[in-house]
Amino acid sequence: MSDEAESTLIPRSEGVVNLEMPFAALKEWVTPTGKLYVRCHFPIPEIDPAHWRLTVTGEVATPFEISYEELRALPQETVTATMECAGNGRSFLEPKVKGVQWALGAVGNAEWTGVRLGPLLERAGVRGSALEVILEGADRGEIKEPPRPPGEIRYARSLPLAKAQGDVLLALQLNGEPLSASHGFPLRAVVPGWFGMASVKWLERIVVTDAPFHGYYQSIDYTYWEERAGLPTLVPLAEMRTKAQIARPAPGETIAAGAEYRMHGAAWSGEREIVRVEISSDDGATWAEATLVDEARKHGWRFWEFGWRVPEKAGAYRVMARATDAAGETQPAARRDEYGTYMVNHCLPIDVQVQ
């Protein structure tokens, strides 16, 4: 297979655009735009930047609007961040669950350039009563399955005020080019360390609120069960979970018996550094340490590799990777039911054929 064929994005839905990177094509630490997955809930809105405005409103002293050109004239920052869709790896779940059937490629590590959200909030003058910051996109549509809100809704998610004032970027550029329509032109949020659903694309409105936001995409959708004070509580998804993924071998790959095979892949977490990746080639019975490539970089994934001495005996083998972060947390061996159809970070078995 040529590099180009290997890196062609895989369509994962009909109607709206959902495209996945063939994870076996993992090569560059910064994912080229053509290899970056695309996740859309509604049709991609067409936006004329000359007429588009970003509105900042709600619990602020002075609501304001700002144009594309004005945003471009502000001091720009660049952030390289790994973004993973909370449903990445869902196709591995047994029994099968609803939702876009992502394999391993709803993740990427891209370079985003734009303005920080914090100074814009400061310009508006956030009131003392503020609790959350809602980011609303221009894309809209009707939810078809109950429970559903009446009429059309827009895609929206909120952030705690402290996160919004911290490292959240409003990106105008992806990998040094203006955003493409599918990745949120003219402006999108990038929320480092969080699952992709927080990074609202086609951003049009920012609403500061004094109460928790219970919009569709953080109450009905994109939530999980967590025990809080001994009570099962429905919590909006937020930080990415510590995880390692195998790029090669790919599921179903045929490998020569007795060969020295270079296994490789990437590992990431939300806010924590990846300190160890281990590999098992006997269905989790024993583990050996992989080599971490390069330095750890905040919010970026970490590449790893492992020289696998492939058994002489032909047959079916199951390989797995597991990551450990700086807090000492290792990704779980088994699926956690409370994660529902999201946060697939248990060790995913990759079945290969040795012959």
Cβ closest to Mo ion, residue 85 vs residue 93 = 85
Nearest by Cα to 4 from 24, 28, 25, 18: 25
CA angle at residue 306 from 277 to 24, to 5 degrees?
A: 90
Cβ closest to ligand MTE, residue 182 vs residue 330 = 182
What DSSP string runs through 152-189?
EEEEEEEEEHHHHHTT-EEEEEETTEEPPGGGTTT-EE
Q: Report residue 157 as tokens.
A: 């998610």
3-state secondary structure of 34: helix
User: Which part of the chain contacts Mo ion (CB under 5 A), choosing from 8-16, 33-41, 60-68, 288-296?
Assistant: 33-41
134 binds Mo ion (CB under 5 A): no
Q: Residue 12 touches which of Mo ion, ligand MTE, none (CB < 5 to 8 A by kind)? A: none
State the residue number with the nearest CB to Mo ion.
85
| Cis? peptide before 186, omega within 30° of 0 | yes
Q: Report residue 96 as tokens.
A: 């099968």
Cβ closest to ligand MTE, residue 38 vs residue 238 = 38
Instruction: Supply the minimum distance, in Å, between the C-beta of residue 175 and ligand MTE.
Output: 12
Member of 12, 35, 39, 188 binding Mo ion (CB under 5 A): 39
* Polymer length of the chain: 355
Nearest by Cα to 60 from 139, 9, 108, 131: 131
Q: CA dihedral in degrees (351, 8, 177, 169; nearest 10)?
A: -30
Instruction: Supply the minimum distance, in Å, between the C-beta of residue 218 and Mo ion.
Output: 12
Catalog residues that contact ligand MTE under the rule CB under 6 A: 36-41, 85, 137, 139, 155, 183, 196-197, 199-202
Instruction: Supply the minimum distance, in Å, between the C-beta of residue 106 and Mo ion.
Output: 7
Q: Residue 168 touches which of Mo ion, ligand MTE, none (CB < 5 to 8 A by kind)? A: none
Nearest by Cα to 335 from 324, 346, 343, 321: 346
Instruction: Supply the minimum distance, in Å, between the C-beta of residue 290 and ligand MTE.
Output: 27
Q: Residue 163 touches which of ligand MTE, Mo ion, none (CB < 5 to 8 A by kind)? A: none
Q: Residue 155 touches which of ligand MTE, Mo ion, none (CB < 5 to 8 A by kind)? A: ligand MTE
Instruction: Supply the minimum distance, in Å, between the C-beta of residue 338 and ligand MTE.
Output: 20
Q: Residue 143 touches which of ligand MTE, Mo ion, none (CB < 5 to 8 A by kind)? A: none
85 binds Mo ion (CB under 5 A): yes
Report CA Rg, the chain.
21
Lookup result for tokens 């549509």 = 141
- 59-67: long-range pairs with CB below 8 Å, 24+: 59/126, 59/127, 59/129, 59/130, 59/208, 59/209, 59/210, 60/121, 60/124, 60/125, 60/126, 60/127, 60/130, 60/208, 61/124, 61/125, 61/127, 62/123, 62/124, 62/125, 63/124, 64/123, 64/124, 66/120
Q: Which of residues 178-207 bind Mo ion (CB under 5 A)?
A: 196-197
3-state secondary structure of 278: strand
Q: Residue 186 touches which of ligand MTE, Mo ion, none (CB < 5 to 8 A by kind)? A: none
Cβ closest to Mo ion, residue 83 vs residue 138 = 83
Instruction: Supply the minimum distance, in Å, between the C-beta of residue 99 and ligand MTE.
Output: 10
Instruction: Supply the minimum distance, in Å, between the C-beta of residue 324 and Mo ion.
Output: 25
Lookup result for tokens 């061996």 = 333
Q: Residue 325 touches which of Mo ion, ligand MTE, none (CB < 5 to 8 A by kind)? A: none
Could you tell me how many residues of this chain bind Mo ion (CB under 5 A)? 4
Instruction: Supply the minimum distance, in Å, between the C-beta of residue 209 and ligand MTE.
Output: 18
Cβ closest to ligand MTE, residue 81 vs residue 319 = 81
By the criterion CB under 5 A, which residues form the site for Mo ion?
39, 85, 196-197
